[in-house]
Amino acid sequence: MRLSPLTPDFGYEVHDLDLGSSISNADADALQAAFAKGHMLLLRNQQALSDAGHADFASLFGPVTEEYLDGSKVAWVTNRPNTKTTVPGEAGLHWHSDYSFTEWPLRGISLQAMELSGKSAATRFASTARAWAALPQALQAELEPLEVLHLADFSGASAELGVPTDRFDDEPDQELYPHKWHPLKMPHPRTGEPLLFANEFLSIRLGGVPREKSRALLQAIWPILYDPAHVYEHDWREGDLLIWDNFALQHGRDDFTPEPGEPSPVRVLRRVSLGADYERMVQSVPRLAGALAAM
């Protein structure tokens, strides 16, 4: 097995490792160290793993989360929906970390490309670790003591989950608008590395400063966090297996709805997630299970 940097800022590509065979202890140690340091691993040309094989590999990097109350440990990100589809359709997704509006953001997410055809969308990634380090010192000092409100809109008022607006009160209704205040300078839960834990999709306001100031500070953050020079765009190929740290990296994608009359592309990605307590999360966000099932 061999590792090479995936981007100058984060990630490693893993070469000469077949996930269909057992992984030696030495390789497992090296993979875990690379994941802790680089926050993302890419393995190309892998055979289609079984659901259990995918979950087994992901479990090298943390506890695998149930995706549904029936205990299922896989979900699907696909425009060919089935009963376990978590992220449906072809619409774009703004930058986010999964479940950052709860106390239990996922620790990690792994996707394997099972079926692809036509022109779908790349998944893009930005590093919250790089962004914190890249902030000008004066801005770092200003942001360090602040908290940030992450919120998703489950009211049905918006077609999207999550509304990038600060129109809500400090403590909106938890069932309709599940939300969580997080430290803006988030220590990584495993390594303590400082992360800029705000995202464009779900982070609606900074606490402890007037609204105008909150807006201005968020507008100062986004161009640093999403600087195109430091974004990685992953163009999916069948057999790709990607795993990333959901605290240290954010993700999003462009809309890939076909033009009228054009054939729809096929994009079937299997997902295995790390680290959240799904049952507690559904108790805290009762509309989550319903919203996912309805998709």
Q: Which residues bind Fe ion (CB under 5 A)?
A: 98
Q: In what order do the strands lie in the sheet with 93-96?
A: 93-96, 249-253, 123-127, 232-234
Give the nearest residue (CB) to Fe ion.
Answer: 98
Q: With residue 270 as reference, give the H or E element that holds it.
A: strand 266-274
- Closer by beta carbon to Fe ion, 124 or else 143: 124
Q: Do 193 and 130 form a contact (C-beta atoms < 8 A)?
A: no
For residue 237, how many C-alpha atoms fall within 13 Å in the half-sphere facing its CB? Answer: 7
How far is it, in rounded angstroms, from Cα 83 to Cα 292? 10
Q: What is the DSSP letter of 170?
A: S
- Closer by beta carbon to Fe ion, 144 or else 233: 233
Q: How far is the CB of 6 from Fe ion (least distance, A)?
A: 19
Q: How far is the CB of 22 from Fe ion (least distance, A)?
A: 30
- Closer by beta carbon to Fe ion, 98 or else 200: 98
> Can you give 76-132 as a three-state secondary structure string?
EEECCCCCCEEEECCCCEEEECCCCCCCCCCCEEEEEEEEEECCCCCEEEEEHHHHH
- Closer by beta carbon to Fe ion, 35 or else 99: 99
Q: Do 256 and 124 form a contact (C-beta atoms < 8 A)?
A: no
Q: Do 244 and 34 form a contact (C-beta atoms < 8 A)?
A: no
Q: How far is the CB of 248 from Fe ion (least distance, A)?
A: 14
Q: How far is the CB of 137 from Fe ion (least distance, A)?
A: 32
How far is it, in rounded angstroms, from Cα 92 to Cα 7? 23
Q: How far is the CB of 96 from Fe ion (least distance, A)?
A: 6
| Residue 4, CA distances (Å) to 45, 163, 191, 222 in order | 16, 38, 22, 29
- Closer by beta carbon to Fe ion, 96 or else 146: 96
- Closer by beta carbon to Fe ion, 98 or else 214: 98
Q: Do 274 and 54 form a contact (C-beta atoms < 8 A)?
A: no
Q: How far is the CB of 13 from Fe ion (least distance, A)?
A: 22
Q: How far is the CB of 91 from Fe ion (least distance, A)?
A: 12
- Closer by beta carbon to Fe ion, 61 or else 125: 125
